[in-house]
Amino acid sequence: MEFYKRNPRRALTGMAELTLRQRGAYNSLIDVLYDRDGVLPDDDRMVAHLMSVDLRAWRNVKAELMACGKIRVHDGFILANGVTETILSAQLRSRSALANAQLRWDRSKKAKEFNGARRKSQCDGNAIQSIDIKEERVGELSEEEIASLQRLTASLRP
């Protein structure tokens, strides 16, 4: 996820009891979680590397954050409060926007197909087509008019 919604008041209120070191680690962990779409294995070495901190420092602060109830490990993955819900909400909005865009596109295509069938092209009124229409009504024309139209048609067509 390249961007995530953050409510500063909720964040400050939720981190009020944390030390500066814990806040920094917690914020970095949240960024790592969002960067990885909420999927972060409980691998201390990897997490410490992703957060650019010493392994021992990460293990200490991880235990402190777990004791405070800010993070937890479930099925071998690290979870932080609110991250999963925010990611699911963003994915739902994204899918909804995609579906709406597809619906608009489909409606636009149908409208163009419908209107295109009734709309005449720029060439609909040219002489050749006019003559073809007149040839359909040959029975209504005199022999002299028919001969004249045939000569004209022959001269216009390649």
**pLDDT per position in the chain (158 positions), as tens?**
666 777 788 888 888 999 999 999 999 999 999 899 888 999 999 999 999 999 999 999 999 999 999 999 999 999 998 888 888 887 788 888 888 888 888 888 887 777 765 555 566 555 555 445 444 554 556 677 777 667 666 666 55
Q: How high is the pLDDT of residue 134?
A: 47
The angle formed by the CA atoms of residues 63, 4 and 25, to the nearest 5 degrees, is 25
CATH of domain 1-119: 1.10.10.10
Rounded Cα gap, residues 96 and 87, in angstroms: 14
Q: What is the 8-class DSSP label of residue 3?
A: -
What residue spans of 20-82 are helical by DSSP H? 20-35, 44-51, 55-67
Rounded Cα gap, residues 94 and 50, in angstroms: 27
Q: φ, ψ for residue 80 (rounded to 5)?
A: -125, 150
The domains of the chain are located at: 1-119, 127-156
Count of CB atoms within 10 A of residue 145's CB?
12
Q: Is the pTM of this model over 0.75?
A: no
Rounded Cα gap, residues 7 and 15, in angstroms: 12
| DSSP bridge partners of 41 | 77
Rounded Cα gap, residues 90 and 85, in angstroms: 9
